[in-house]
Amino acid sequence: MKALGTNKGKDKKSKKKNIKVKKYEDKAISAKRLIKIAVFIILLFLCLIFRIGWIQFVQGAHLKELASRQQTLNKTIAPARGTIYDTNGQTLAMSAKVDTVTINPSKFVKKDEPAETKALQEKVARGLSEIFELDYETVYNKVCSKNTSETIIKKVEKEPIDKLKAWMEENSITVGINIDEDNKRYYPYGNLASYVIGFTGSDSQGLYGIEKKWDSVLAGTSGKIVTTKDVSGQEISDNARQYVEVENGSNIYLTIDANIQSIVEEHLAQGVADNKATARFSNCNESTNRGYTSNGYISKL
């Protein structure tokens, strides 16, 4: 009996000792866990500080520039190209105000709503293609483009633009379609002295003749308006608006007389037809008309 009581006492002491050891081990494990968590938090905090410093000091200038681009609306104002006159002041080449239509495809995308996005894109493509008589598939591809901007049509007359504005108002489309002022070159006398006067390209740059020779004089300098825009791309009226005044091109007066030139060309054409000639050339009296030369004087608008 004594031996049995002694064994029971030993068992109790052993159990108490085991419990104390286990508690100690649990405390040690908890302490290790706390240390690990603390180290992780410190490392995370250091990473955040490093990232903030990287953004602030390394990428700061670049990010600031990107933000400025997103918040700034920059409109270019095309200058009026100078007029070319003959010696009597009759217009040989002139520019008239037209418009160029561009779009921002991203404005027709509804986030997380593919069905509505597709419906809007189809509506816009259909409207633009019908108003300007363009191929629907071509316009639709531009509307769905990933590019920042797409040109729909250049140098459009007033009537289609008025239709577009009415359509946009009717369909409550306020962003995504841009109507920018532009200029289109006209030659009232058609091909008269065309080898002298020359012609311009799609961007109103001189490509031949007087138009090319005196392009820097005729072209003028573009102006621009820099202002702030909201998240939808609409202009915000504020005092930070900047305006760079446009400088129109200069006029040029030639020594060509349109009346004499037309008579000479008419007789030349008849002579070519009668004699089956392969080339023609005119050299009018020096005191009256310099014919196919680029002589003239420049007058500021």
Domain ranges, residue 18: 2-58
Per-residue burial over 43-75, b = 16 or more CB atoms within 10 Å of its CB, e = otherwise: eeeeeeeeeeeeeeeeeeeeeeeeeeeeeeeee
Q: What is the mean pLDDT of residues 152-173?
A: 91
Beta strands in the chain (DSSP E): 72-77, 84-85, 91-103, 150-156, 177-186, 199-200, 206-208, 223-229, 235-236, 242-244, 251-254, 296-299
The rounded distance, in Å, linking the Cα atoms of 60 and 148 is 24
Rounded CA Rg of the chain: 39
75, pLDDT greater than 80: no
7, pLDDT greater than 60: no
Q: What is the mean pLDDT of residues 60-82?
A: 74
DSSP string, 119-132: HHHHHHHHHHHHHT
Per-residue burial over 145-167, b = 16 or more CB atoms within 10 Å of its CB, e = otherwise: eeeeebebbebbeeeebeebeeb
Residue 49 within a domain: yes
Residue 166 within a domain: no
- More confident call, 158 vs 77: 158
Give 104-162 pLDDT, tens digit per residue. Answer: 898 898 887 888 889 999 999 999 999 999 999 999 999 999 888 899 998 898 899 99
35, pLDDT greater than 60: yes
Please report the pLDDT score of residue 226 as a whole number. 74
pTM, full prediction: 0.59
Please report the pLDDT score of residue 79 as a whole number. 85
Number of domains in the chain: 1
As to burial, measured by CB atoms within 10 angstroms (0-12 exposed, 13-18 middle, 19+ buried), residue 245 is exposed
277: left (phi over 0), alpha (psi -120 to 50) or beta: beta
By mean pLDDT, which of 20-34, 162-176, 209-223 is the weakest?
20-34
The rounded distance, in Å, linking the Cα atoms of 84 and 167 is 37
Residue 37 within a domain: yes
Q: How far is CA 264 from CA 4, 58, 133, 284, in A?
A: 144, 71, 41, 8
Q: What percent of the chain has pLDDT over 90?
A: 26
Residue 14 within a domain: yes
Residue 206 within a domain: no
As to burial, measured by CB atoms within 10 angstroms (0-12 exposed, 13-18 middle, 19+ buried), residue 26 is exposed
Residue 153 within a domain: no
Give 238-279 pLDDT, tens digit per residue. Answer: 556 677 788 889 999 998 899 998 888 888 888 878 787 665
**DSSP category for residue 90:** -
Please report the pLDDT score of residue 295 as a whole number. 40
Q: What are phi and psi of 118, to 5 degrees?
A: -60, -40
The rounded distance, in Å, linking the Cα atoms of 197 and 202 is 17
Q: What is the mean pLDDT of residues 45-60?
A: 84
CB atoms within 10 A of CB 127: 20
Q: Tell how strand 251-254 and strand 84-85 pair up.
A: parallel
Residue 276 within a domain: no
**Helices 114-131 & 158-170, crossing angle to 10 degrees?**
150
